[in-house]
Chains A and B, each alone.
Chain A
Amino acid sequence: MVAQNIFFYVIAAVMVAAAVVVVTNRNVVRAALALIVVFAGVAAQYILLAAEFVATTQVLVYIGAIMVLMLFGIMLTRARIGQDPEMTNERWWVGLITALLLAGVMGYALIDHFGSDPLPEDRRLVAVGGSNTATVSDAIFSQYLIPFEVISVLLLSALVGAIVIARKDR
C-alpha cells in the first residue's frame, strides 16, 4: 500500500500544479495543454485503483476527443503565440468561491462516507469471468441500466441543442 500512497501524492501534486497553470497561464493554448496534464493525472489515479477500463475511457474521451476538439476550436478562432493580457476574467473570484464550495461539498461527502476505511488489498472486481471490464459492463447494463439510458438521452438532447444554436437559418 505504501507505494500506491506515495504515487497517489506524486500524481496529485503534479495535477494540482498543472491545474494552477490552467488558470494562471496567459496563453490559452498552453492553458489547454496544462488541462491535458490534469486529465492524464486523473487517468493515472484510476490505474492506481486498478480501474483500467475507466482510465482508458478517461484518456479516449477527455484527452483524445474533448481536448482535441477544444484545441481545434481555440486554434480556429484565437490562438496567438505569446502572452495574452485579456486572459484573466474580471470576476475570477466568483469562480474561486464556486471551486472552494465544490471542494468542500465533495470532500465532506467522501470523508463522511468512507471515513478512514483502508482500501481493500485486492481491488480487482472479478465477479464476471475474472475480468474487470466485463464486471463494469455487467453493472452498467443490469443494475445501472436506467441511469445509463437517461444519460444517453441527456447527451442526445445536448447534441440537438448544439445544432439548434449553431444553425444559421433561424
Chain B
Amino acid sequence: MRSLVLAIELAWWQQTVLRTIGVLAAVLLPAGTLVYVFLFKMMSFMQSRLGPMEAGPYGSMQLLAEVGKWIQKEDIIPWRADRKLFAMAPYIVVMTVFLTYVGVPFGPDAWFADLDVGIFYILAVSSISVLGILIAGWSSANKYSLLGGLRAAGQLIAYELPMVLAVVGVVIQAETLNLQGIVAAQHEGAIFGWDGIGNPFILTQFVGFLIFLVALQAELTQTPFDMPVAESELVSGYMTEYSGMRFLLFFIAEFASAGAFAAVAATLFLGGWALPGVDLDADYMNVLGPIVLLAKIMLVAFLVFWVRFTYPRFREDQLQQLAWKVLIPLSLVNILATMALKVAY
C-alpha cells in the first residue's frame, strides 16, 4: 500500500494544489461540524429546546441554508468607513486560521508543513488575527465597533502570555518545538516506567492544560470572555457594521479558529493523531490519524462550548486580573516545576 501510494510522484505545484484543497477541507469541515453539533444542537438541548429541525434530516442542512442566506445579503459598507481596510479586515482574520492549520499534523505523512519550529509558528500566526479585529473595529467608523476592537486587543494581548507560557511546559517535556516530535514524545513516553498508554501530557502537564484551556476560551472570545462582542453593551462589537459575506467570514473564522486551537490543544496535551498501542509509522495512521484528531478536537471543543453556554460574562477588570494576577504567575510556577522535575529525572 505504502509503495503504491508513495510511488506516485507529484510535481511541486500539484502538491501545492492538493495541500490547498486539504487546508480548505481542514478549516471548513471542523468549523461546520462545531457549529452544527455545538452551537445549533448542544446549546438548544442545554436550553430545553430542539434547535433547527426543518432543513434536512434533524436540521443537519441548516448551516448550508444559513450560508446561502448570508451570501445573498447586500454587502453594506458604512459611508464614513475606511473602505479598503473595512473590506480587508475579515480576510486577515480568516487567513490566520488557515495559516494555523498549516502547522497541525494529522498523521505520519499527513501534514501540510512539518515545521522545525512547529508550535512556535502556530502561536505566532494566531497572534495576527488581533490585527484583523483591530482594523475591523477602527475602519467601521462606529464607536461600538472601535470599543469592541480595543477590548478584543486588550484581551488577546493579556491571554496570549499565559497561553505561550503554558505551552513552554509541554515543550520542555517533549524537548522539541516540532508538533510531530511532541506527538511522538507523548506516544513513546512512560509514566513512572509504565508505557501502556504512553504519556499524554494532560497527565503530567495538567496545570498547563487548564491554563491553556482558559487562555483558549479568551483567545476565541467565547463567553465568559466575550466582552469584545458583548451584545448587551456593544451591539456586536467589531462585527457591528459587517453584513453578508464579510460577516460570514468572521463567523467562519470564529468557529474555524475554535477548531484550530482545539486541534493544537489535542496535539499538545492529548496525544494528537496517535492512539495508545498503534504503530506511529504505519500507513493506516494516515487515514486513521485525521479521524482520531477530529475526535479529540470535538472533545476539547465540547469543553470550550460547554463553558460558553454555562457561564455569564466577566467584567473587564475581572478579566485582566485573572490573566495577570492568576494565570501568568501560575504558568511561571508550572514552568519552574517542570524544569526542576526535568532536570531531576
Contacts and interface: CB of A to CB of B under 8 A. Distances in A.
A43 B121 CA distance: 12
A72 interface: yes
Interface string B112-130: 0001110011011101101
A64 B160 contact: yes
A75 B153 CA distance: 11
B35 to A, nearest CB: 27
B85 interface: yes
A60 B153 contact: no
Interface centre among A33, A56, A63, A72 (most CB of B within 10 A): A56
Contacts of B157: 65, 68-69, 72
Contacts, number: 83
A79 B130 contact: no
Contact of A72 (B125, B134, B178): B134
B123 A68 contact: no
Given A69-B157, A79-B138, A131 B116 contact: yes
A81 B127 CA distance: 25
Interface in B150-199: 150, 153-154, 156-157, 160, 176-178
Contacts of A36: 131
A72 B228 CA distance: 14
A25 interface: no
Contact of A71 (B81, B125, B134): B134
A144 to B, nearest CB: 19
- DSSP class of B's interface residues: helix, strand, loop or mixed? helix
Interface in B92-106: none
Contacts of B149: 75
- DSSP class of A's interface residues: helix, strand, loop or mixed? helix
Given A33-B135, A65-B157, 14 more contacts: A30-B85, A36-B131, A52-B121, A56-B124, A64-B127, A64-B160, A65-B127, A68-B130, A68-B134, A76-B150, A79-B146, A81-B138, A81-B141, A132-B116
Interface of A: 29-30, 33, 36, 52-53, 56-57, 59-60, 63-65, 67-69, 71-72, 75-76, 79, 81-82, 131-133
30 contacts: A29-B85, A29-B135, A30-B82, A33-B85, A36-B131, A52-B116, A53-B120, A57-B120, A60-B120, A63-B128, A63-B131, A64-B124, A64-B127, A65-B127, A65-B160, A67-B131, A68-B131, A68-B153, A68-B157, A71-B131, A72-B150, A75-B137, A75-B138, A75-B146, A75-B149, A76-B150, A79-B138, A131-B176, A133-B116, A133-B120
